[in-house]
Amino acid sequence: MRYVQGRARRARAALAAVVTWAGLLTGAAGCTPDGGVGGAFGPPAAEDVIRVTPGDGSEDVRPGSGLRVRVPDGRLESVQVLVSQDAHESRVPGRISGDGLTWRPDEERLALAAKYTVDAVAVDGSGRRSARRTTFTTYVPEERFIGYVAPEDRTTVGTGMIVSLEFNRRIVHRAAVERAVRVTARPAVEVRPHWFGGTRLDFRPERYWKPGTEVTVALNLRDVEGAPGVYGLQQRTFTFTVGRSQVSVVDAAEHTMRVHRDGELLATVPVTAGARKTPTYNGLMVITEMLEVTRMNGRTVGFGGEYDIPDVPHAIRLTGSGTFLHGNYWADTGVFGGSNVSHGCVGLRDVKGGGADTPAGWFFDRSLVGDVVEVVNSQDRTVAPDNGLGGWNMNWTKWKAGTAVK
């Protein structure tokens, strides 16, 4: 009987030991505070080893929120971040810190209207490897702005061309927008910006471009905040080439235009400039538009019904306010080289429909957007620097003072 009781006591003791050991095992592999399984007898949850900001599944993330991948101990082995924007996917460049604990992107600002995918591999302090993938999406702005660029991409222009951006929304954060536009030249020359109000930004060198110069205009406006809640849309590059030099001087008193090509006098052409009551602007003007034929109506430029000509030939725009150098078939031929009768434009003899062998046709065929036309000895004031591409009428010191970046 004692033998049986002894065996029973030993069995109960053994069972108690098993239950106690099982409880210890259960406690050792218990739930971590966030519900993951960890501890000495199970791998830690990936989100405990690799921590990503913004969090997985985040939406409407603002551009200044920042992107970080971190580990509390151990080291990051690799981090790859892809951004998908406008159906285009690209890799986000970045680097792991020297201690291996943090990855951050080279560009701190996040893209807008984009999806980010983060893939990271890390080893914790105990040498266990974890991998984690997270995704988040960024804020989609309701309002965007763009800049219309002159000259057009891949064109050949005259040496007086000024790079001009006209924005469709008023720019409040002008310094940020200015920094996002880069104009470079080859051969290199200093190019500086100047703001005209809140919607126009022009760039030019101190003097006319040298013939053969290649100019690149890089618009890095994508996601730049131009005004509160209004972000840029463009990320593209324009290029143009500077052709030969042509500067034409219209003498309103002599009723002539001297055309200089590469420093040499090419021709002297008889003209008619603005009449006494409607004189032509003085100063340096740049050709911005060339039309084989166009309609000219005085009411569109502040006159009454003095004229409405539906088929003005060889029309070359010099200012935004409506100054043209154009063919004229309706005036008596004696006015060309003899008197000024126009409403502010410069007229060259032409025929109805435009003639190739007329003075107007000859000049039109030898002109480029970006060529310079200078008017002297007129009874009007000098054209304003923001009227067309009149920036050459501003000295270099004042031009440079027009930057928003101080």
Residues acting as catalytic residues: 326, 345
Residue 317 tokens, joined: 């725009």
- With beta carbons less than 8 A apart as the criterion, state whether 145 and 198 touch: no
Rounded to whole angstroms, the Cα distance separating 209 from 162 reads 9
Q: Is the peptide bond before 187 cis (omega within 30 degrees of 0)?
A: yes
Rounded to whole angstroms, the Cα distance separating 23 from 20 reads 5
Query: Coil, strand or helix: which one is 176?
Result: helix
Question: How many other C-beta atoms lie within 10 A of the C-beta of residue 239?
Answer: 13
Alpha-carbon dihedral 224, 227, 233, 235, rounded to 10 degrees: -40
C-alpha distances out from residue 96 to 90, 105, 116, 129, Å: 19, 9, 18, 17
Rounded to whole angstroms, the Cα distance separating 345 from 307 reads 13
Q: Which of 143, 135, 169 is nearest to 55 (CA)?
A: 135
> Look-up: residue for tokens 């008197």?
339
Query: Coil, strand or helix: which one is 324?
Result: strand
Supply the DSSP string of 363-404, one letter for each residue. HHHT--TT-EEEEES-SSPBPPTTTTT-GGGS-HHHHHTT-S
Rounded to whole angstroms, the Cα distance separating 166 from 25 reads 72
Supply the DSSP string of 48-92, one letter for each residue. HHSEEESPTTEEEE-TTS--EEE-SSSEEEEEEEEEEETTEEEE-
Residue 171 tokens, joined: 């720019």
Residue 111 tokens, joined: 């893209």
CA neighbours closer than 13 Å in the CB half-sphere of residue 348: 25
- With beta carbons less than 8 A apart as the criterion, state whether 315 and 309 touch: no
